[in-house]
Amino acid sequence: MQVLHMNKGNGDTSYAKNSTVQSKIISVGKPIMKEAVLEMLCNNVIESMGIADLGCSSGPNSLSVISEIMDTVEAANRLLGRRMVSEYRVFLNDLYSNDFNNIFMSLPAFYDRLKEEKGLECESCFILGAPGSFYGRLFPTNSLHFVHSSSSLHWLSQVPAGLESNDLKRLNKGKLYISKSSPQSVVDAYLLQFRNDFSLFIKSRSRELVAGGRMVLSFMGRSSTDPTTENSCYQWELLAQAIMSLAREGRIEEEKLDSFNAPYYAPCTEEIKDEIQKEGSFTIGRLEAFEIDWDGGAVTDIHTPHGKLSVRRRVAKAIRAVVESMLETHFGIEPDVMDDLFIRYGDIVGTHLSKSRTKYINLVMALTKKW
């Protein structure tokens, strides 16, 4: 919780400037989100609608989901000729180290758009920050109607037990995450940590949501039950190769690579369903998988020299914006070495993508709190 955060500010390597993939993920999940909102409104008039965006991060994506939810509600109001929701209580959640200032500075413009585009006054929408880990309670009992989370639940609450950097056994040498060469004990440790975390997430939200409330969750997953498939872990495999190239030159300590394990897990649908069914508070309405390009599909001329260069730069910047805080803390990497690391990573990504168009698998699900 103290270390993980997206790169802050609006600079060249910031998350705000390098979140095209996350924007694409939000976009593909919009129909499922809108459907869930409308289903919730069908038989309910809500005086004050509690909405939580968990893992909101910062930058242009932070308020886009909230705007879409409100658009859906306001469209329903117009269609039915009456107000289904009188006011909105919006909670933006992320870890304590998140760049909340970036979000708060954008609120005046957001409120202006609410008035111009939706005819809503500031008095109808109350936006608050809710810092803390979503692996535990964040809100009062029965205070929420709709929970959204995108590109966040693949992050674990901690490095799986037994793989911490101070453990004397280096079970996953030369790797940052699960790989084809990882022993079964490493795979088992990651799965156990995911099960514990996701179960706690579901249990916490079941207390906070009203009966009939909805959740739409979107996060990186995999299409196979095998956790070593390329679409599950290969971005980490290539990053490990880039770090190892610097270690061979003595610019990064190889032992630090051996002791780093990413607090990340890309589950398959069976693993998700198991935990939801075991907890028992929710029914699954939709659970779908979408393929997402590593660069978010932003580059269309991928077969030209310029396109190939653009793809690898975009992918390198996108990954850097997400993982730099962890690498900096664990490896103690100086800025010039960090720059070199991600140049190398981009080159390795470019070589890989010229041979195989590996894609992320994004899982999107809609859940309903049981009555």
Q: Which of 50-59, 68-77, 135-144 has the highest mean pLDDT?
A: 135-144
Give the pLDDT band of residue 229 (cuts 50, 70, 90).
confident
Please give the residue range of the domain that contains residue 278.
15-369
Contact between residue 322 and residue 13 where contact means Cβ atoms under 8 Å apart: no
In a domain, 48, yes or no: yes
Distance CA 246, CA 249 (A): 5
Apex 21 CA angle, 323 and 118, nearest 5: 120
Q: Give the residue, 16 or 116, on which the prediction is more confident.
A: 116
Distance CA 57, CA 102 (A): 9
In a domain, 4, yes or no: no
- The per-residue pLDDT for 165 is 54
Give the pLDDT band of residue 333 (cuts 50, 70, 90).
confident
Least confident of 167-171, 178-182, 214-218, 357-361: 167-171
Give the pLDDT band of residue 5 (cuts 50, 70, 90).
low
Residue type, 147: V
In a domain, 284, yes or no: yes
The domain that contains 254 carries what CATH number? Answer: 3.40.50.150
Query: Strands across the sheet with 125-129, in order?
Result: 125-129, 85-93, 46-54, 144-150, 209-221, 359-369, 282-293
pLDDT of residue 303 exceeding 70 = no
The overall average pLDDT reported for the chain is 86
Residue 205 sits at φ, ψ, to 5 deg, of -70, -30
pLDDT digits (tens, 9 = 90+) for 162-189: 786 555 467 777 888 988 888 898 999 9
- The per-residue pLDDT for 218 is 93
Q: In the chain, what percentage of residues exceed pLDDT 90?
A: 39
Distance CA 290, CA 222 (A): 10
Q: What is the mean pLDDT of residues 41-64?
A: 85
In a domain, 10, yes or no: no
pLDDT of residue 322 exceeding 80 = yes
Q: Domains in the chain: how many in total?
A: 1
In a domain, 137, yes or no: yes
- The per-residue pLDDT for 276 is 96
In a domain, 314, yes or no: yes
In a domain, 302, yes or no: yes
Distance CA 245, CA 251 (A): 9
In a domain, 340, yes or no: yes
Give the pLDDT band of residue 150 (cuts 50, 70, 90).
very high
User: How far is Cα of residue 132 from the mean position of the Cα atoms in its chain?
Assistant: 15
